[in-house]
Structures are given as structure tokens and as C-alpha cells.
Amino acid sequence: MLTSATRKPWFERLFPFLSWGREINRDSLKADLMAGITVALVAIPQSLAYAQLAGVPAYFGLYAILIPSIIGPLFGSSRILSTGPVAMTSLLTAASVIPFAHWGTEQFYTAVILMAFLSGAVQIALGLARMGVLLNFLSNPVLMGFINAAAIIIGLSQLAPLVGLSLRNSQHFLMDIAHILVHMDEMHFVSLIFGVVSLAIMLVLKRYAPKLPGVLIAVTLATVASYLVGFEAMGGRVVGEVPQGLPGFSLPEFDWQSSVSLLPMAVVIALVSFMEAMSSSKIIAIKTRTAWDENQELIGQGLAKIAASFNHTMPVSGSFSRSALNLASGAKTGLSSIFTAIAVLLTLLVLTPLLHQLPKPTLAA
């Protein structure tokens, strides 16, 4: 474990972003700008897909990488860690809320927003109590088992939208998957084509042109094709209307009974999401030969979740894939995440009408 929290001035421990000033120059600004744009090209389509995993409208995903992606590096210890919606946290959020609210209802969305606040509060409490070091005692086999199980569950959960069917979203995941397999003859064939072709594009580009933004290319081509062939008119499911402009900013709706009911799963989400953030932070610290502090990262990630709830969106976390991309793209400071947020802001203000025809099978892929 690398840590230098005790050697930093108290005001830098309280506001970690104050230490950026010593490292910002023309070269770092250029590097951060390019890295921020690169991450945004991946984060925007990813966030739309992860909103689908969480059971909320696609634009919730864009909201989740607007303010939270800035708050994470501002108050966390890892400047290059990219904060926003991630697959496992999104899936856990949906699974946690289903027992208390019907899928696709306003009550469901309200509970998801409340979950963001509760899980953030848990992380902040753990950070203030200096409990971060205890998370290092989780063994590697346990983490690997969790990651592999999560990958299987996430993949299976997207089988329904990939073939144009509806997942029943009961409390019995395997039975829901079995229901899809039994009714596979009812699948929407055009949706299957869009999903399989999108997946093939991403796999081919990852194999033969890894430097290209495969996800963005697949999403762009699928959206254009959807518009040209009239995918929605054929019965295909698309993202639909994405509200143009900024999200609201206010306290989430609190309900004492709901908060008590959701709190146990909020603790689980807080711990699981931090596992991903911790893994990324460790790798970044080793590769950049910089220090990091688990407790400060808990606080930063917790504040990002709180910000997400105030932005009326879902829980966020440190993303392993986007953080790796941020690092590989040459990011030097947390300004790269601010540039990513600016790109998302421009998307919300200008480009949302273009997302209407984006096929959901492509997001599933």
C-alpha cells in the first residue's frame, strides 16, 4: 500500500485538489485535454448502457458523469481515477431496488437516487472513521471470484435487450433468464442483427485497431443505421427522447422507511464499488509512482455519490476501464476528468437529439 497522507499539509488533506497547482503547466494541460476527450468518447456511450443496467432512463447515465466525475478527483487521492457509472454498481443498484419498487416507475427512480445518497454517506463515514485499510484484507481469490461472477451476471442481464425481449426483472434472476430462453422464438430478429453486428464491430476494432474508440464507432454506426432503416418503426427499442439541458440539482426525496430498508444494500454497494475504485487506484499509484490514501478515496467516492443523488441520478464509482484509458492517454492531473465533464456538458446541451435513434440492442452489446 502506498500512502503519504500523513506527510501532506492539513489543507491539502482536506482539499486534495489544492496540490494540483504545482504540476499544472502547458504540457500537462494539453495532455489532460486529450485524455479527457478520449475518456469522454468512451464514457458517453458506456454511461447510456450502464443506465440501462440500473433500470433507469438512458440520460441518467449522462447525468452520472457530469458533476460526479469532477467531485471524485477533486476530493479523492487518485487524480487519474475516472469516476462515473460502472457496470457492477449499476446492476447492484437495480437488484437492490427491485424488491421495494416496480421496474420503470417513478418510485423506482426515486429509490435509485436515494441509494446513491445512502451508499455515498456510508463511504464518507468509512473514510472519516479511517476504515479504508480494513478493505485491504479482502483476499485476491475472493475479489477474482466476485469479478468473474459479476461479468457473467452482467452479460446474462443484457441477453433480453440484445434480442429485443423484455426481462421480467423479478427477484429470481436465473428464472428470468430461463424465461427468456424459453421464449426465444418471440425475439425481434432485427434487434438481434443490430446487437450482434454492434458486438462484432467492437470486438474486431479491439483486436485489430485497439487505439480507435470502438464503442463510440459502434454506437455511431448503429444510430445512423437505425435512422436510415426506421428501426423504431419496425418495433425496435431505441433510447428515445433525452432531455436537453442540465439536470436539476436538489436534495433527493427522503423517506425514513425506504432509507432503513435500502441501507443494508447501500452498505454492500458502498463496499463493492470501492473495491473497483481501490483496484484502479492501486494500479495507477504503482504505474505513476505516486501515493494514494484509501480513506481519502473513500471520502472522494462518497462525495461523488452524494453529488449524483443531488443531480437526480444513480450511484457512481471509480471505473477500472476508463481509469486505465485515462492513464494510457497521458492524463497528468484531475483536470482530465473536468475536461471529460465539459464534453458531457456539451453533449447534454447540443447533441441529445442525435441519441434518440440509438438502438438498445447496441447498448446491450
Residue-level pLDDT at 4? 44
Residue 178 CB: number of other CB atoms within 10 A?
11
3-state secondary structure of 319: strand
| CA nearest neighbour of 342 among 48, 59, 43 | 43
pTM score, two decimals? 0.85
Residue-level pLDDT at 266? 93
| CA nearest neighbour of 146 among 267, 274, 261 | 274
Q: Which residues of the chain have pLDDT under 70?
A: 1-14, 21, 135-140, 142-144, 146-147, 150, 167-174, 176, 182
Residue-level pLDDT at 344? 93
CA count, 13 A, side-chain hemisphere, 44: 28
Q: Which residues pair with 84 in a beta bridge?
A: 317
Q: Which residues pair with 319 in a beta bridge?
A: 82
| CA nearest neighbour of 59 among 239, 250, 238 | 239
- Are the CB atoms for 231 and 357 separated by under 8 Å? yes
Torsion, CA 193, CA 194, CA 195, CA 197, rounded to 10: 80
User: Which set of grid coordinates corresponds to residue 322?
Assistant: 476508463
